[in-house]
Structure 1
């Protein structure tokens, strides 16, 4: 049974990340296609993963969720078995969008399906928030399509996801291989 804080979509369960997820999360982030697309989130050992999870779930206004296939969608109906984590969505330490899906699940629309309700949740729970910024490695067209589909707009001159500046800050020249996108409160997608 999902917690009150969980987000349930037609096919997915997004639930707040917890320390017990460290092993599953590490398995996801050790996949080269996932690791090479991450802007700020890096860990390669179980202790590093546990430390990262502890840090993100204790930050003020933390919003980070695991993504699993919902029990209703799965073919194995063993209710005692927790759903396998196939991805992650939330905010990185610099308040930028962070998401990743296991490559075995790419091309099924899961990332867009997770991002839309995550955005609604984020703007409902952080009422002072007006914008959300995302950075994508140049060449990652799948991620660009997800952002555009979910209402993000390509922006020039946004701050680096590696740095702490906000919208309008000069881009960090060490991150010239990123495209920047912004989502504004007024653009919240309807389910």
Structure 2
């Protein structure tokens, strides 16, 4: 499976993505709000990548490439839960929004799913802005939901319904 945007290619994960994904998942800046601490070994990333590959090409979870270089992942590791991470070298260029929007558009175009969800750390202001810009609405909050490297993190929950997505796209939502 492959999706092309103006600048990016979103595609199914492959074993040769290991070095590129390790560069991301081992970077403490990239994993600051991720569900695990930075990967310390290539073997940790290999196990993570094997899991992504095992989900198969029908799972809408994509490796993100920019100019042929792996720069992140975006999509749904388990529908309807959205997840994304990009290498800090490409932050601030609108690439996360481009990748996440493409993944969302793909799911709504190919799946009979009415609502997508996201779980974000309250301190992750950039991710909150991104989700809200894409039409996600806050649905809840919970304290101490993730223990990452011995530190408890909180969660703000977001959702995007098919109807709300249509409204943010300037389309008529179904009655």
TM superposition score category, shorter chain reference:
0.7 to 0.9
Match of 1:187 among 131, 145, 164: 164
Closer, same or farther: CA 42–103 of 1 in aligned 2, 3 Å: closer
TM-score by length of 2: 0.80
Match of 2:138 among 133, 139, 154: 154
How many Å apart are 1:58 and its aligned residue? 2.1
Residue 9 (structure 1) aligns with: 5
Consecutive unaligned residues of structure 2, counting only runs of 5 or more, are: 147-152, 171-175
Q: Quick check: 140-149 or 37-46, which moved more?
A: 37-46
Residue 62 (structure 1) aligns with: 59
Q: Between Structure 1 and Structure 2, how many residues are aligned?
A: 161
Match of 1:37 among 21, 33, 36: 33
Note if contact 1:15-1:67 (Cα within 8 Å) is conserved in structure 2. Answer: yes
Question: Residue by residue, what CA displacement relative to the aligned partner does 1:95-125 show, whole Å, maximum 9, x if unpaired?
Answer: 5211011112111111111111110111223
Residue 139 (structure 1) aligns with: 123
2:84 equivalent to 1:99: yes
Match of 1:24 among 20, 23, 32: 20
Consecutive unaligned residues of structure 1, counting only runs of 5 or more, are: 71-82, 158-170
Residue 72 (structure 2) aligns with: 87
Q: CA RMSD in A?
A: 2.4
How many Å apart are 1:42 and its aligned residue? 6.5
Question: Residue by residue, what CA displacement relative to the aligned partner does 1:47-71 show, whole Å, maximum 9, x if unpaired?
Answer: 222222222222365221111224x
Closer, same or farther: CA 11–103 of 1 in aligned 2, 3 Å: same
Note if contact 2:121-2:156 (Cα within 8 Å) is conserved in structure 1. Answer: yes
Distance 1:40 1:93 in 2: 17
How many Å apart are 1:45 and its aligned residue? 2.1
Distance 1:93 1:44 in 2: 25
